[in-house]
């Protein structure tokens, strides 16, 4: 259960950080270790050069970000910084 708690907590941190950045729509309530979001396709493609994640619905720009037992606060913060930078481009 500790591993699941870690993954779920990092998904919550990610979703809260994404909301703070703005410019990205969180599509569903975060109930576990997944965050579903909609953002500009070009931003997703640039982020995929640095981070591993998948399109959930590529035509709509929907992505699925997953956190795991070994996702750290630093990992989430690095992703959020990159997201903020890419959205500002």
Q: Match 């109930």 to its residue by tokens.
A: 31
Cβ pair 20, 76 in contact under 8 A: no
Say which residues have a Cβ less than 8 Å from residue 84's Cβ, sequence separation at least 6. 21
pTM for the whole thing?
A: 0.94
The pLDDT, as a whole number, for residue 1 is 86
d(CA 56, CA 69): 22
Domain residue spans of the chain? 2-88
| Separation of CA 45 from chain center | 13
Quick: pLDDT tens for 18-47: 999 999 999 999 999 999 999 999 999 999
Cα first-last separation, the chain: 40
The CATH code of the domain at 2-88 is 3.90.1150.10
């Amino acid at each position: 259960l500790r591993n699941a708690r870690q993954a779920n907590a990092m998904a919550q941190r990610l979703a809260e950080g994404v909301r703070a950045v703005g410019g990205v729509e969180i599509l569903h309530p975060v109930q576990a270790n997944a965050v579903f979001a909609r953002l500009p396709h070009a931003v997703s493609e640039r982020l995929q050069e640095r981070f591993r994640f998948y399109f959930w619905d590529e035509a709509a720009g929907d992505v699925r970000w997953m956190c795991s037992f070994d996702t750290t606060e630093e990992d989430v913060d690095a992703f959020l910084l990159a997201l903020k930078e890419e959205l500002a481009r």
